[in-house]
Chain A
Amino acid sequence: YLLCASGDFVKMYSAATEELVRAMRGHADLVTGLQLNPHNRLQLYSSSLDGSIKLWDFTDGILIKTFTVGYKLLALYALASSEDSVFVIIPKSGERDTFQLVSVKLTKTAGQDTEAKELSVVLEGVDASPKCTAFGREGEYVASVKEVHLQIYFFKRKQLNRFSVSATNTKGGNNLFTCVACHPKEDCIATGHGDGKIRLWRNFHHNKEYTFSTLHWHHDIVMDLAFSIEGTSLLSGGVESVLVQWHNGSDCKKDFLPRLGSAIEYISISSDGTLYCTSHTDNRITIINSNLRFSKSIQGLIKARDVKTGLVVDPRTKALVLNGEPGHLQFYCLQSDKQLYSLDIVQQEYIHQAGLNQADLVKVAFSAQGKWLATVEEREEETDLELQLKLWFFDEETQSFKLNTRISMPHEDHITAMCFRDMDELEDDSLILVTAGRDCLFKVWVMLEDTDPEAQQSLSWSCDFVGSYHNYQATNCCFSEDGSVLAVSFEETVTVWDSSTWDLKCTFCHPPGKIRNICFGRLTCSKYLIGATDHGFLCCWNLLSCALEWSAHLNVVVLQPDPLSEHIAAVSWLSKESSLFVFKPNEPRPICIQRNLCKEKIRFAAFVPRDVPETIGSEKYLWLRRSQLYFLTDTQELMTFSTKSPEERLTLSSKQLAVEESLPVTPFSLLLGKHRQQSQGDIDHGKVVRNHHEQDSPAVKELLHTPAHVLPSASFLCPIFINSLLISKEKKSAEEVADEVEMESEKAEDDSDEEKDVTEMEQEDIKPMELVGEITHKLSKSEEKELRKIRKMDYSWISAF
């Protein structure tokens, strides 16, 4: 098995099948360290920022004991030689950013919860990272590195040796220590440095006559080091995403495993030495055989350097599609938290080097059936820009996308938007692709039948029409649902074009703001065009009357229509928090408002159609019936909006878990869990990092931990659950972000059809104050004001009408 720390969980994966076997929950904060109990290979110690060490029986997933230490624990080490104590790194009280290594005596009392208060300081001034401290052969000494100092403490002699290297060497490289590893059999310490060198220290018992040799292959920081079980080889990894195996400490004999995808963060070796394991910065664990053959990889959502493509849903697989590895498009399955596959778009080897501009994928669009995929990649040098538009055809035989057409430099400047004409019922040859560019043009691309019999493929794409408007930069483009009209926004103006004749039909604008997003309404609301400006206005125009239907003051950053209903989701960014508004274009009042969705800026959103329409109990969340809304924030955390009650969550726990896992790596959570474990031959270790948010209210816990069949009826549980929610809200710390918002209204279920029949005027009749009052216990004053403002606008518009 492979154990890894993942957010608040300890996860156990099978090393043979890469499946998640078990997630052990219990910690209230990030898990920072994992160590197998050296005296019982089936037990596991874990430490967490919540200040507790927990002992688990991981084969059964049972929490055996909790030791409360009372400090933030940043790393955990367990030694075979020390019977009843473990070592942890804690912050030094009274001083910021200084940490110390202490040994904690774990008393053998009967109770489940014990306090471990017997601390004794071993080393002062250690680095907070668990990679910077290592225990030597048979626990005789401990080595710790920080900045340019290496300190070694010998337990038997109680002697502390300190060695320093100069901060920069003669060639200007930096000598800072980055990690340390100790030889398991000999007195040898390996340290990694900022300039890519590895130093092997020997004879460090003498303060003066110590000696070291240097291994140098990495060109940038050595991220982690690990000795093999017998110490005959040393593994090192860094940003080059190459695992290097050094034999016998010799500079000349080394083996490489290249192309691991992204920078190596941690390296771990199974206790029988047959498997290596590396964890990567892009939220992935790779399992490697000891002969340096790639074996398996455990991956969820790949963390890309920068998500430029946005969240796109593949109509065929319903997978989320976004930037993955550099130059690749990842297809991420939400249900199983797995990457379905990765499509190499750029088809160039990625070179890890600072300051090197490489081609990257910036835009992706699917045709309605998922038959065609259009991608745009760009590479920007200081002066010139390389652009490529590629069109891919889905090959039914190979079940993958095949490159059909490659168009270089489709526009003279950056492409700002791209869309297919979304017409489900029409034939292939009516498929139209529109690209809008900063070179003030939008271009229409159509498929052509190739008449040349020699040509390998019968279809290719070429430009059909080039449009422009007053030499303004084209910023967005969008087809109406039936494909008859195309809306293109040019800075402050939205232009509407007839898609059959390419005539300019009409223009809308809402000065002074430039248009940020546009979209058409769906189904019954298809006569409306919605636009958001960067001056903080959301406008709705009626295409039939060519007039402004309504507008609202809202700083919208993301505007996302649900393809299966009339609903449109708008995410606003106001005073350092994101809020969600869901509305229908035909009525200016939002159906659902969720304030304080998260603290980070939301970059993209996507509606993913559900396989089976959900039965939603509340009118308020009716819009989630047919699709689920996903968000991607600045820090590449994927969030979803869910309405499930806890009972449902329990029964569907495996499914729900998958979604939770999809939260990728964030920098602050990169504290690893290291663990070694042995169990009947299947062995491995690893570390994964993840961010997870669990509700820690006792009532919810009670709900979650009680089997479904013994629970009382849902109606009985509802008030308790809501109360618990209210309390937990207050408890939540500032940083904590609710990624699952669950609200239940006490109203009886309404039929959705009935809801649709409700007219605009009827809704207006409802007193706005009542509406506000319904959710008033959760809304602040400012939100009320906002609502009132919306109400006022509504009235003014109605009077005008």
Chain B
Amino acid sequence: GPIWSMVANGGGTRLAIGCEDGSVKLFQVVPGGIQFEKNLDRQKGRVLCLSWHPSGTHIAAGSIDFLRVLDVRSGRTVQRIMVNYHVPKPKKRECVVWSIAFLSSGTVVSSDSFGRVQFWDWERGTLLESHTVSTSAVLSLAVSEKEDSIVVGTSAGATYQFQLLPVKTGSQDKRWVRTKPFQHHTHDVRAVAHSPTALISGGLDAQLVIRPLMEKVQRKGYEAALRKFTFPHRRLVSCARKARLLLFQFSQHLELWRLGSTNETGKDGEVLPVCRMPEHLLQLKSKGPEHIYCSCVSPCGSWIAYCTASRFHLYRVQHEGDSVSIKKVPSVPKLLLPAYQLQCASDSGRLFVASDRGSVHVLQLLEPGGCKHLHTLRPPAGTAEAVYLLASSADGNWLAAVSGDWEIHIYSLKHFKHHCTVPTYSCAVTALAIHPVTNNLVIAYSDQQLFEFSIPEKQYTAWSRTVQNCGLHKAWLERDSPITHIAFNPKNPSHILLHDVYMFCVLDKSLPLPDDSAPLMNQSALKQLPETARQRQLHAFKICKKFQPLLFADLLEGNCLVAVERPVMDINAQLPPPVQQKKFGT
């Protein structure tokens, strides 16, 4: 029947699966797959959650109204605990054990739909402690590595931390105490995780929240701030610059739009009338249940590629006047999948497919509708991590690829050879791009640092060194969301266009860097200053924050910038209604 839960043991060698019929199936993890090992004792009631004892000898399984402890070796149920034993009969409702954790001390922690977090001694089957944290269900639970702290998430959007604290100083007697409540979500908290320094929760409201535990954080820095993520730090929109097309990637389909245009010009702040309305050209549904992982449209707009977990698809788009037809490219070369990123060369002649183990496949796109596998680029040292970001140069000579171990490899496309490696930095790369004129690689890291690396010279540029010496502005470094896209102004080679979810920034390399005393956001103040004073106040960062959450921004040909916004209200409107709670004073 349907599988409700699945969890691997501590060593990752065995996988337990909980099924609808109440059975727990054990699989051996073998390289490249899993192998059925045995069925554990079956009892009626779907198995909603599973947890291995850290030693791997027992499994705790939560069902409706009860939880069980199974001996792995014998496959027998050694303990069965009714969770709502204390509730009087007539009032009895179904009590769903949503989540369970097996601690090494032999304590089983269960969270249920009555809003309780309960601690059981599995050997005796007795209740050690019970904490009612919420009137609604407690859906998720996670234990810290040291087993001294537990985080639970409720369907009211709140997360709570439990800590194992000594009752008296110096005594061995310890108790679980509910400590900090956090309310960061508006809907169900479906998943929680407990890192050594932070509580991470994700819920139905499409937000991922990282709440640092202040007492565990040693220094004030990136780790010490509360972070909320609404949008993935990945590119979901691709743009065909020449054809003025935008490709939006949804989980199950793609949409291709033609941008509108205007003939008029106006001053700052005016809304210009559109002479050509934006046009929805086509919607491409992916086959099967798999989600689309990545997609891209070629700059000329005639090719669309997307990839799911198991398949790669390439389409040829024919533009006949205003109508559009689409044709699937047959006989796509079999590649080592999945692909993590797709990127077209600027002349639309080649497609780069980022894949596992640091490899990048180069495909030649052939007219009128075919393709050929040219080469597979691999890092010289080899890596286990997949490539997740690509950047190709405008002249078609260079390709930069970032793999999961944060190494940036630069390949020469002329010779299909590894050119050099950018010195590794201790943070993840969030965006990179190659300058069309100078072939400098601009890299943005997750700690908001910016680097510029000259590919021909194989070293950081002078400007990059100045930035590192002077340091970036404090307000810039304290920003929340990472840079998701980098573009260049073809008319002025010293301009770099950066954006994250909340702001769009033009970085002018010719201007001095701001120091910490000057305001970073000075555009509106500058407008009011006279010309001479303005010159003195100018600095490299020109930031615009007027966008609602900004998904994508890129320069088109001919003085146009396209920006894609995704208002949070639109997302919230699509969510199911949250659990109703009466708020005092409303």
Contact = CB atoms under 8 A, between A and B. Distances in A.
Interface stretch (A51-59, A211-219, A603-611, A658-666): A211-219
B367 interface: no
B278 interface: no
Contacts of A214: 181
Given A202-B179, A213-B179, A187 B167 contact: yes
B177 interface: yes
B169 interface: yes
Contacts of A158: none
B165 interface: yes
Nearest to B214: A208
A208 B215 contact: yes
Given A202-B179, A212-B179, A219 B584 contact: yes
Interface stretch (A88-96, A117-125, A248-256): A248-256
A205 B169 contact: yes
Interface in B559-586: 584-585
A614 interface: no
Contact of B215 (A185, A209, A219, A249): A209
Nearest to A353: B585
A250 B135 CA distance: 12
Contacts of B115: 252
Contact of B585 (A185, A202, A213, A219): A219
Contacts of A253: 132
A296 interface: no
B333 interface: no
A186 interface: yes
Contacts of A250: 131-132, 178
A210 B131 CA distance: 20
B341 to A, nearest CB: 39
Contacts of B177: 202, 211, 213, 249
Nearest to B116: A252
Interface string A210-248: 111110000100000000000000000000000000000
B253 interface: no
A253 B163 CA distance: 20
A775 to B, nearest CB: 61
B163 A211 contact: yes
A187 B175 CA distance: 12
A137 interface: yes
Contact of B135 (A186, A187, A203, A252): A252
Interface string B193-223: 0000000000000000000000110000000
Nearest to A203: B165
B169 A187 contact: yes
A210 B585 CA distance: 32
Given A209-B215, A210-B215, A252-B132, A186 B179 contact: no
Contact of A211 (B165, B168, B169): B165
B168 A187 contact: yes
B305 interface: no
Given A137-B168, A252-B133, A203 B181 contact: no
Nearest to A138: B168
B166 interface: yes
Contacts of A249: 177-178
Interface in A661-710: none
B375 to A, nearest CB: 55
A187 B166 contact: yes
B474 interface: no
Nearest to A201: B179
Interface string B80-123: 00000000000000000000000000000000000100000000
Contacts of B216: 209
Most B Cβ at <10 Å: residue of A209, A213, A219, A249:
A213
A213 B215 contact: no
Nearest to A154: B169
A249 B169 CA distance: 19
Contact of B180 (A140, A186, A208, A211): A211
Nearest to A216: B584
Interface in B509-563: none
Contacts of B181: 213-214, 251
Contacts of A219: 584-585
Given A187-B169, A202-B165, A211 B132 contact: no
Interface in B282-301: none
A214 B585 CA distance: 19
Contacts of A209: 215-216
A782 B165 CA distance: 73
Most A Cβ at <10 Å: residue of B133, B135, B215:
B215
Nearest to B129: A248
A211 B161 CA distance: 10
A203 B179 CA distance: 11
Contacts of B169: 140, 187, 205
Interface string A130-161: 00000001001000000000000000000000
Contacts of A211: 161, 163, 165, 177, 179-180, 215
Task: Rank and list the top 7 A-B pairs by shortest CB-CB distance, nearest first.
Answer: A252-B132, A211-B179, A209-B215, A213-B179, A208-B215, A186-B167, A203-B165
6 contacts: A187-B169, A202-B163, A205-B169, A211-B161, A213-B180, A251-B133
Given A203-B165, A211-B180, A250-B132, 20 more contacts: A186-B167, A186-B168, A187-B166, A187-B167, A187-B169, A202-B163, A206-B215, A210-B215, A211-B161, A211-B165, A211-B215, A213-B179, A213-B181, A249-B178, A250-B131, A250-B178, A251-B178, A251-B181, A252-B115, A252-B134
